């Protein structure tokens, strides 16, 4: 198949490599002409040193060129960039081919998950053209072909099967899951908890603290998932607990690193510059807190993370506030 791949970050580069090695032709689009030129000349990503793009990948900064004749669109942009990018995609007439989403986030202005954003743009309810790939997967490990398991989902079961067929590889297992909202919600929310865990480590706290943050964080995710009609079981699987673990426990996670830098007295802006890539948890945190307040759902870890990022609360003060909360019986 010919695949238009939108986005050439590390995650996009790693997934495009899998698609090309599976025999597909990938035209990978980046908005930057300078970066496109570098990719064409070096056939390597500057943040994934030592790995060369397979021959089946071609690079372009011309969106129309990427879309012409494509059988499938795959995106790896940012949640904030979804609307502006797909406004251009649809303006080029690419309105009738499958779209596979790999970004993870919640839109601030609407509280929409990414599939909901595109369904709205297509003027459809749960568009059968939209599917997702999510789960515990660092680009740096996928590109090395280390064993990885993820999930795919779609509003249309035939598209779920297509995604599984496109991406499954010897070291990359793709499990189907019919809960589209749950798959996307788990992938979005775990980034907030990873920021909190990064701050915990940056403050010098131990494994006990991080275990508590992850467990109570999963509890928050499960509670808030009711606002999106997710299935609780999904959040116990790869797209929920699995993604939470890999993002909270690894220094490869940019959300974890962002939190750690905040604990080391970096401002959010300086931390972003130091990482040099999008930090989806920073964006999603505002949207998640809005959802929680709208339905009067207590999300103390999300709220503390928001206060640190957007209101200047000192991370140590945030920990004190969390520890001073009234203790209630644990309900899972």
What are the residue numbers of the active site?
A: 190
Report how far Cα 17 is from the mean position of its chain's Cα atoms: 18
DSSP element (H, E) containing 199: helix 180-202
What is the DSSP track for 24-87?
Answer: -EEEEE-S-HHHHHHHHHH-S-TTSTT----TTEEEES-HHHHHTT-SEEEE-S-TTTHHHHHH
Say how far apart CA 214 and CA 188 lie, in whole Å. 15
Quick one: how many helices (H) and strands (E) in the chain?
A: 16, 8
Residue in the structure block whose two tokens are 């509670």: 223
From the list 131, 139, 239, 132, the residue with the least C-alpha distance to 191 is 239
* Main-chain dihedrals φ then ψ at residue 327, nearest 5 degrees: -85, 130
Tokens of 325: 């909360």
Q: 72 near 1, Cβ under 8 Å? A: yes
Half-sphere exposure of 259 (CA within 13 A, CB side): 37
* Main-chain dihedrals φ then ψ at residue 169, nearest 5 degrees: -145, 170
Q: Is 69 left (phi over 0), alpha (psi -120 to 50) or beta?
A: left
Tokens of 264: 């080391």
Say how far apart CA 4 and CA 92 lie, in whole Å. 13
According to DSSP, the β-strands at 72-75 and 99-101 are parallel
């Amino acid at each position: 198949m010919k695949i238009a791949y939108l986005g050439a970050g590390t995650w996009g580069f790693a997934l495009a490599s899998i698609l090309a090695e599976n025999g597909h032709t990938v035209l990978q689009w980046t908005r930057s002409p300078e970066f496109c030129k570098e990719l064409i000349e070096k056939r390597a990503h500057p943040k994934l040193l030592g790995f060369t793009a397979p021959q089946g990948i071609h690079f372009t900064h011309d969106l129309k060129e990427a879309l012409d004749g494509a059988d499938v669109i795959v995106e790896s942009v940012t949640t904030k960039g979804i609307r502006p990018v797909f406004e251009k995609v649809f303006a080029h007439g690419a309105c009738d081919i499958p779209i596979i989403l790999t970004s993870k986030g919640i839109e601030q202005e609407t509280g929409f998950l990414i599939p909901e954003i595109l369904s709205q743009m297509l003027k459809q309810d749960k568009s059968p053209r939209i599917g997702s790939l999510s789960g515990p997967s660092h680009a740096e490990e996928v590109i090395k072909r280390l064993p990885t398991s993820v999930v795919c989902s779609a509003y249309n079961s035939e598209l779920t099967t297509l995604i599984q067929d496109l991406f499954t590889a010897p070291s990359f297992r793709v499990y189907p899951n019919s809960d589209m909202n749950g798959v996307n919600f788990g992938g979005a929310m775990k980034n907030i908890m990873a920021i909190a865990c990064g701050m915990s480590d940056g403050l010098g706290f131990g494994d006990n603290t991080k275990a508590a943050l992850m467990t109570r964080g999963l509890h928050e995710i499960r509670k808030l998932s009711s606002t999106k009609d997710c299935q609780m079981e999904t959040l116990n699987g790869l797209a929920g607990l699995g993604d939470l673990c890999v993002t909270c426990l690894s220094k490869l996670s940019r959300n974890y690193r962002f939190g750690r830098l905040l604990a080391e007295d970096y401002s959010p802006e300086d931390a972003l510059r130091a990482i040099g890539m999008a930090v989806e948890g920073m964006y999603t945190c505002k949207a998640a807190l809005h959802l929680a307040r709208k339905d009067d759902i207590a999300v103390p870890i999300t709220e503390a993370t928001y206060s640190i990022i957007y209101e200047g609360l000192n991370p140590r003060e945030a920990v004190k506030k969390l520890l001073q909360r009234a203790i209630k019986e644990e309900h899972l």
